[in-house]
Amino acid sequence: MESPINHSLDARRLLCPMPVIKVQQLIDELGKGAIGDTIEVICTDPGALYDIPAWAKIHGHKLIETHEENHEYYITIEICDA
């Protein structure tokens, strides 16, 4: 079994619903081989702090953490089902 990969997604300057759409597109592109990998999403839209975790829960992914730094929002999820 391969070690999980940590992916990064820059969704800065994108407004709802685009950060969520970008996460979904990345997970679709990565495919089943990415189960167990993490994605750190960097956003400037504060709504993403609610939208991405809600989307992840609905789609079977795990929220690892969220935090704010210098007016940017970081959301890390683990891909649990692709």
In a domain, 10, yes or no: no
In a domain, 13, yes or no: no
Which range marks the domain in which residue 40 is found?
A: 20-44+75-82
The predicted-structure confidence for 55-72, as pLDDT tens digits, reads as follows: 999 999 999 999 999 999
In a domain, 69, yes or no: no
Percentage of the chain surpassing pLDDT 90? 90
Angle at 16 between CA 61 and CA 64, to 5 degrees: 25
pTM to 2 decimal places: 0.92
In a domain, 35, yes or no: yes
Q: Is 16 an active-site residue? A: yes
Q: How far does CA 24 lie from the centroid of its chain?
A: 8
The predicted-structure confidence for 30-41, as pLDDT tens digits, reads as follows: 999 999 999 999
pLDDT of amino acid 1: 53
Catalytic residue among 16, 26, 35, 49: 16
* Total number of domains in the chain: 1
DSSP label at residue 36: T
pLDDT of amino acid 7: 97
Q: How many CA atoms lie within 13 A of 12 on its CB side?
A: 10
In a domain, 37, yes or no: yes
Here the tokens at position 44 are 């400037």
Here the tokens at position 79 are 């891909």
pLDDT of amino acid 3: 82
pLDDT of amino acid 82: 54
